[in-house]
Amino acid sequence: MTEKFQQFRKLVGEIFDLDAVVSVLEWDQQTYMPSGGAQVRAMQIATVYRLWHENLTGDEFSATLEAAKEETANLDPDSDEVRIIRHMKREVDQWRKVPSEWVGEFKRTTTLAHQAWEEARANDDFAHFQTHLEEIVKLRQQYSEFFAPFDHPYDPLLDYFEPGMKTSDVKAVFNELRPRQVELVREIAERGSPVDDSVLRQDYDVSKQWDFGVEVIKALGYDFNRGRQDRAAHPFTTSFGIGDVRITTRFDPKYLGTALFGTIHEAGHAMYDQGVSPSLDRTDLITGASYGVHESQSRMMENLVGRSRPFWVAFFPRLQKYFPSQLGEVDMESFYRAINKVEPSLIRVEADEATYNLHIMLRFEIEIALAENKLSVADLPEVWNSKMEEYLDLTPPNDAKGVLQDVHWSSGYIGYFATYSLGNLMASQFWAKMEEDIPDLTNQIERAQFTEMLNWLRENIHQHGAKFEPLELLQRVTGNTLSVEPYLHYLSGKYEDIYKLS
Amino acid sequence: MTEKFQQFRKLVGEIFDLDAVVSVLEWDQQTYMPSGGAQVRAMQIATVYRLWHENLTGDEFSATLEAAKEETANLDPDSDEVRIIRHMKREVDQWRKVPSEWVGEFKRTTTLAHQAWEEARANDDFAHFQTHLEEIVKLRQQYSEFFAPFDHPYDPLLDYFEPGMKTSDVKAVFNELRPRQVELVREIAERGSPVDDSVLRQDYDVSKQWDFGVEVIKALGYDFNRGRQDRAAHPFTTSFGIGDVRITTRFDPKYLGTALFGTIHEAGHAMYDQGVSPSLDRTDLITGASYGVHESQSRMMENLVGRSRPFWVAFFPRLQKYFPSQLGEVDMESFYRAINKVEPSLIRVEADEATYNLHIMLRFEIEIALAENKLSVADLPEVWNSKMEEYLDLTPPNDAKGVLQDVHWSSGYIGYFATYSLGNLMASQFWAKMEEDIPDLTNQIERAQFTEMLNWLRENIHQHGAKFEPLELLQRVTGNTLSVEPYLHYLSGKYEDIYKLS
């Protein structure tokens, strides 16, 4: 390491520390904080976040960055040094456009909004959350304005989560996906051999659910020496450093799917964060290339692994031992079909793969309308319900199972949802390449052997952290740009088999 | 509130936030953090602590403080405004003498040392902790030097925990206490009617211990809506704000006393912090007048309440219901004598009240020798053991039960221990006054009614936070200065009864 880069690296570490500290405060808020702590916690988070912003956008850091850049001009453009500088430069350019006051206000608002959302959802009381969400939408609209001019006011929000992606790109993807996903769902409904998932809807002891979930994610490769699992109202993954990547989960004592697939999903995120190269620790690059790439890892674990037949060849006998009275008489094939039942449903995180993206499109359209200031928050429940009707032919019985179901907006995450769908696409693209490289993959999964799979993911994706932008990473790994075909190919293949369509 | 004070108050809040954030990070480290998180956590704590120091000692804060001081010059000298300014001025004066680099280095060192201490104690391996402690002693010696000239190099360390107290003051107190405590212990050993505490040393289910402890501290007045209890290697209390005051405890499945009295002790601290006036929230004044006054509240709950006969009149029947096979046949009086058995023992936190201060004197002498640079850390185990011999006629079987038993030094708390003894003295002084004001106190405790007691503590002590310095507070409440007599009077009265000495 060279002298100027070293000085820069020190400041990068301190900026990272502040960001990580906010994550610790938020993790605590969502897991263990007593209700009395909410007000002061909001101030604490706002104060640290503001300092993070001041340090990141201050003249000292920019000068140090420029000096380091000059000093490392002749290094390999793929070296850690060059990539750390490039990444931080992008962050500085982005955040210099945003005033510190906005940053503190945003964190204070979202921290309190999160608390209000939890209460609103628990009591099915949208009004309790409405003013909080109005503030958040206003703040996000302001955020957008900091980046004017833009093609679309939603672009800066999307770019926040998926660097380089435009509203028009996502619209194009969804326009390709929509008719073919709708057609698939229609075909399944009309011609599919019926699937019964009642085996999943029995009494399942929560502590046994916990234990089985832990057994699964340990087998997949989640490292409990560098992480832990706790309960929270909404499952999430958070990284405070490569050595401390935590996940949360939640349970439904009458439905096996909630915790099981939630846990595997979060473990997918967490293994990404645990797999980043130690040379990037204490930099902002340790949390992955983008939210979309992150979702590719979580949705891959949840669906391509966790909802696959080979996986249950290995794990169904184990699951039966946890729940002999519920599953002892069930055959693996019925269970496999049950966890893949396609049925329009109210809750996104429990949606099957065929309808999942429709949940996303609905949210995407609503967010665009909010960004364009064409939709008032007060009208959200009604608009939500009418779009549910349109996309999934369902009417939510209440707002708790409708517009209040997701945590994202309470955290200010307007612009996030599309990354789930992008993640679905990338997951299939990565998977196709991995199958080429590991011809024996299916057999390995059937034997619960995940080492080679995890090594492939580490080698090709995880270790790089945010060194490469999403599409650059995709190109390096698969040789292709973003495409819907591998995903649709996977989906139709899977459901033709399960629903005996062909 | 006036304009300049308001601006000052805003900065006070932000400085407080950073301090509270460090407390959250440390709480997490000691409760839930996976081992892989230690290295990065040390950096995070150091970064935030350094920023706390920079903000506190920066020119902006001092200028704002002076402006606020001028503006509020005519206010009541006991008003919140004047007292907050005075307190912060004292902090600024203190911390301006300490360089920011020292502050970051100290936190980084102690965070790693804490981890090493936990491992060293678990494995009875002093060598594993030694270099960490050497660094800490060196840092604390440096800290002392920042305050030169002084009467004694230990003075600045003591003052850190007990504002206004000098090494010579504590020596004088200990010189008064030592002969009379030694005499009491001797008398009990020679003439006392024997006490059998084997009832405490049986198998006690840990989850029932937890439940009983929670029942007790809820009854005493600890508010779980504004706090929580978790397990940790060493019990402690930490406050992130008046609405979030947490305690930790630990269990011995074969000894009832560890968790029970530890829990009550920490609840005593926590009720103090929960009882501070909301007008002081988000200021450094919410954590009490001093560590000594804090210990007066915890030791009062633990001993004057928790080891008293009236308390067990109320709670022994309840405890019997938790542990019928262990205690069903035991009478209350035997139990009361068992929990008050006087016997020289190895572990400070489990020591009886007659020998407790001897444990403190031993540590005090060692710390003074360290401050004077007359004792090397490598020799600590030997010196510890020989002093245990001298004071308590015992030789620790290993360092885990000797020099490694306490968390304090690993946290850099050199100068803390004396506050336990000062707390013992103040507890008795406060208690005597409270008994005057609440003539019915004993009867209330026998009926598990603690409302009037807690209200008295809130009114006279808790609400003020750090508005008054320790001896000023003592004077206001009791009309007296620090004195050993009420404490010795309490001790001899209690043990004459239990050991039938008179």
Contacts of B14 in chain A (CB under 8 A): 47
Q: Inter-chain contact A243–B36, Cβ cutoff 8 Å?
A: yes
Greatest alpha-carbon pair distance for chain A in Å reads 68
What's the pLDDT at B214?
98
Mean of per-residue pLDDT scores for chain A: 96
Q: Inter-chain contact A40–B34, Cβ cutoff 8 Å?
A: no
Q: Inter-chain contact B34–A281, Cβ cutoff 8 Å?
A: no
Of B34, B225, B230, the CB nearest to A36: B225
What backbone torsions phi and psi does residue B323 show, to the nearest 5 degrees?
-130, 65
Residue B388 tokens, joined: 């245990």
A1 pLDDT more than 70: no
Q: Inter-chain contact B41–A244, Cβ cutoff 8 Å?
A: yes
pLDDT one-digit tens code per residue, B292-326: 999 999 999 999 999 999 999 999 999 999 999 99
Residues 225 through 254 of chain B touching chain A, CB cutoff 8 Å: 225-228, 230, 240-244, 246
**Section A100-108 average pLDDT:** 91
For residue A271, count other CB atoms closer than 10 A to its CB: 26
- For chain A, percent of residues with pLDDT exceeding 90: 97
Contacts of A225 in chain B (CB under 8 A): 34-36
Fold of A167-498: Neurolysin; domain 3 (1.10.1370)
Contacts of A20 in chain B (CB under 8 A): 40, 44
Asked if A273 is an interface residue toward chain B (Cβ–Cβ < 8 A), one would say no
Query: Is residue B233 very low, low, confident or very high in pLDDT (cuts 50, 70, 90)?
Result: confident
For residue B373, count other CB atoms closer than 10 A to its CB: 12
CB A292 within 8 A of CB A470: yes
Asked if B37 is an interface residue toward chain A (Cβ–Cβ < 8 A), one would say yes
Q: β-strand B245-249 against B229-231: which pairing, if any? A: parallel
Fill in the DSSP letter of residue B154: T
**Section B77-101 average pLDDT:** 96
pLDDT one-digit tens code per residue, A25-47: 999 999 999 999 999 999 999 99
Contacts of B281 in chain A (CB under 8 A): 40
Output the CA torsion sign for B10, B15, B16, B21: positive
Residue B437's alpha-carbon distances to B191, B337, B427, in angstroms, are: 36, 28, 15
Q: Inter-chain contact B225–A35, Cβ cutoff 8 Å?
A: yes
**Section A376-400 average pLDDT:** 96
Amino acid identity at B262: G
B229 pLDDT more than 60: yes
Contacts of B244 in chain A (CB under 8 A): 33-34, 36-37, 40-41
Chain B closest CA to A376's CA: distance in Å?
A: 34
Q: Which of B41, B43, B44, B49 should be substituted to probe chain A, the one whose Cβ sees the most A Cβ atoms within 10 Å?
A: B44
pLDDT one-digit tens code per residue, B330-376: 999 999 999 999 999 999 988 999 999 999 999 999 999 999 999 99
Asked if B34 is an interface residue toward chain A (Cβ–Cβ < 8 A), one would say yes
Q: Which of B47, B108, B239 should be substituted to probe chain A, the one whose Cβ sees the most A Cβ atoms within 10 Å?
A: B47
Between B96 and B234, the higher pLDDT residue: B96
Q: Inter-chain contact B21–A18, Cβ cutoff 8 Å?
A: no
Architecture in CATH for domain B3-149: Up-down Bundle (1.20)
Contacts of A241 in chain B (CB under 8 A): 37, 39-41
Contacts of A240 in chain B (CB under 8 A): 37, 40-41, 44
**How crowded is the C-beta side of A297, counted as CA atoms within 13 Å?**
33
What's the pLDDT at B2?
82
Catalytic residue among A91, A266, A367, A469: A266
Residue B59's alpha-carbon distances to A57, B20, B368, in angstroms, are: 22, 22, 35
**Section A56-77 average pLDDT:** 97
**Section B246-256 average pLDDT:** 97
Of B21, B41, B224, the CB nearest to A34: B224
Q: Which residues pair with A245 in a beta bridge?
A: A239
- What's the Rg (C-alpha) of chain A? 22
Q: Which of B40, B51, B237, B283 should be substituted to probe chain A, the one whose Cβ sees the most A Cβ atoms within 10 Å?
A: B40
Q: Which helix (H) or strand (E) holds B42?
A: helix B38-57
Contacts of B38 in chain A (CB under 8 A): 243
B502 pLDDT more than 80: no
Query: Is residue A502 very low, low, confident or very high in pLDDT (cuts 50, 70, 90)?
Result: confident
**Section B436-459 average pLDDT:** 98
DSSP B310-342: HHHHHHHHHHHHH-HHHHTT--HHHHHHHTT--
CB B7 within 8 A of CB B68: yes
Domain residue ranges of chain A, discontinuous segments joined by +:
3-149, 167-498
Q: Which residue has the tokens 């594993």?
A: B128
Amino acid identity at A433: K
Residue B283: strand, helix, or coil:
coil
Query: Is residue B1 very low, low, confident or very high in pLDDT (cuts 50, 70, 90)?
Result: low
Asked if B19 is an interface residue toward chain A (Cβ–Cβ < 8 A), one would say no
Chain A closest CA to B124's CA: distance in Å?
A: 22
Chain A closest CA to B245's CA: distance in Å?
A: 8
3-class secondary structure for B69-88? HHHCCCCCCCCHHHHHHHHH
**Section A60-72 average pLDDT:** 97
Query: Residue B117: exposed, middle, or buried by beta-carbon count in 10 A (0-12, 13-18, 19+)?
Result: buried
Chain A closest CA to B345's CA: distance in Å?
A: 36
CB A477 within 8 A of CB A460: yes
CA B466 – CA B481 distance, rounded (Å): 18
Fill in the DSSP letter of residue B22: H
Residue A19: which residues within 8 A CB-CB, separation 6 or more? A52, A284
**Section A142-166 average pLDDT:** 96
Active site annotation includes A446 = no
- For chain A, percent of residues with pLDDT exceeding 70: 100
Of B17, B38, B244, the CB nearest to A36: B244
pLDDT one-digit tens code per residue, B465-483: 999 999 999 999 999 999 9
Query: Is residue A233 very low, low, confident or very high in pLDDT (cuts 50, 70, 90)?
Result: confident
Chain A closest CA to B243's CA: distance in Å?
A: 4
Annotate B329-347 with b (16+ C-beta within 10 A) or e (fewer): ebebeebbbbbbbbebbbe
Q: Which of A15, A18, A19, A24 should be substituted to probe chain B, the one whose Cβ sees the most B Cβ atoms within 10 Å?
A: A24
Residue A116 tokens, joined: 């209000």
Mean of per-residue pLDDT scores for chain B: 96
